[in-house]
């Protein structure tokens, strides 16, 4: 284990691919039938390659995002593969443009690949490099289906894998539609399994307050993103009116957004998205903020790397299991008794299945 290993960036490769989903993801905003991913390979002079992937949700942005990541090759080639130093350089590079949106996603992808390379150079799993150890991480299953019958059937499939918590998306119709889906899933999973719901930002604060007061009688564990993600004051009003916990965070653009949300008392929980927070470096700062504010911290997608990061998050609660990259990985996320098994091999555990990747290159 060489903690002083020095790595130099030789090249950065980005490949965009649009994976067709076998089971589309239904949301209040529409249906996602594919998952656009950019695979990142950060090659070092020493022969170690750090890998990561990022998502852009819509195929419209896939080409521009892949090109933006690839363009960073000329910015970073020859630099030391040190996450803190690279972060400072990229923050300066994009300061006038801004660190949100595609620029933030690109920077986070580079950061995740750098940390993977560092862990591989040290011969340890990412969790170990960060001061923890790989261990099973409690997970909740995020349903892809919104209709009452479809969501109930999917929930039954996932409960059979041992999950002790389920999340279902609602908000595509009226309150009666929300209740029909919630109650169908509850009948399927029983009272011993936690049930969460996600509105995906579909309500106004006033409508959200009216609905959460009714949902308070449904025994939900949390209600996620009832209104626009950056409306911290609106979420604070909703949280004050609700007895059920309000969950927010998957759309925080970095720890600064998170700090604003905490100051507004917008959420009772924290949902950490490693991509939008700024990679591993951003997550570690966010985890410290969650601990200081006593907020239970769960992850948003990216289950492979989130498993490592939750191992070192003081207020860790749940990992969200909603697999997007599994088809292009040699070893997809493994579930045992409702827990995600954190890989104990060097790095973050990602390795591309090149035969599959080549079939989906955009």
**Residues designated catalytic:** 169, 300
Query: Exposure string (b/e) for 308-347, b if CB count within 10 Å is 16 or more?
Result: bbbbbbebbbbbbbbbbbebbbeeebebeebbbbbbeebb
Q: Which of 102, 99, 83 has its CA nearest to residue 91? A: 99
Question: Are β-strands 339-340 and 137-142 bridged in parallel, bridged antiparallel, or unpaired?
Answer: antiparallel
Q: To which H or E segment does residue 80 belong?
A: none
20: exposed, middle or buried (Cβ count in 10 Å: 0-12, 13-18, 19+) = exposed
Query: Among positive and negative, which fits the CA dihedral 42, 112, 58, 307?
Result: positive
Evaluated on CA atoms 70, 61, 353, 40, the torsion sign reads positive
Which string of b and e fits 29-45 if b means at least 16 CB within 10 Å?
Answer: eeebebbbbbbbebbbe
Give the SS3 label for residue 93: helix
Question: For the chain, what's the residue count?
Answer: 362
Whole-angstrom CA distances from 35 to 57, 59, 61, 241 are 6, 8, 11, 36
What token pair was written down for 243? 């007895």
Longest dimension (CA), the chain: 60
């Amino acid at each position: 284990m060489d903690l002083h290993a020095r790595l130099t960036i030789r090249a950065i490769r980005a490949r965009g691919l649009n994976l067709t989903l076998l089971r589309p993801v239904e949301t209040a905003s529409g249906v996602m039938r594919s998952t656009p991913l950019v695979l990142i390979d950060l090659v070092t002079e020493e022969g170690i390659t750090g890998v990561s992937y990022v998502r852009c949700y819509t195929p419209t942005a896939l080409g521009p995002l892949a090109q933006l990541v690839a363009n960073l090759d000329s910015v970073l080639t020859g630099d030391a593969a040190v996450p803190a130093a690279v972060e400072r350089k990229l923050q300066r590079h994009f300061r006038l443009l801004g660190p949100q949106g595609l620029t933030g996603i690109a920077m986070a992808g580079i950061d995740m690949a750098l940390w993977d390379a560092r862990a591989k150079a040290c011969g340890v799993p990412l969790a170990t490099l960060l001061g923890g150890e790989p261990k099973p991480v409690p997970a909740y299953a995020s349903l892809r289906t919104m209709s009452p019958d479809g969501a109930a059937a999917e929930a039954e499939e996932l409960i059979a894998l041992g999950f002790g918590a389920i999340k279902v998306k609602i908000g595509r119709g009226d309150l009666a539609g929300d209740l029909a889906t919630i109650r169908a899933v509850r009948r399927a999973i029983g009272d011993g399994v936690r049930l969460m719901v996600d509105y995906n930002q579909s309500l106004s604060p006033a409508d959200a307050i009216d609905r959460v007061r009714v949902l308070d009688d449904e025994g939900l564990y949390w209600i996620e993103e009832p209104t626009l993600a950056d409306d911290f004051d609106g979420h604070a009003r909703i949280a004050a009116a609700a007895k059920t916990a309000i969950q927010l965070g998957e759309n925080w653009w970095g720890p600064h957004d998170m700090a604003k949300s905490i100051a507004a008392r917008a959420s009772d929980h924290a949902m950490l998205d490693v991509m939008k927070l700024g990679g591993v470096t951003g997550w570690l700062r966010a985890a410290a903020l969650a601990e200081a504010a006593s907020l239970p911290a769960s992850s948003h997608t990216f289950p492979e790397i989130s498993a490592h990061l939750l191992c070192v998050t003081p207020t860790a609660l749940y990992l969200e299991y909603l697999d997007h990259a599994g088809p292009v990985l040699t070893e997809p996320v493994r579930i045992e008794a409702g827990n995600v098994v954190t890989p104990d091999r060097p790095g973050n555990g990602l390795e591309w299945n090149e035969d599959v990747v080549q079939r989906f290159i955009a």
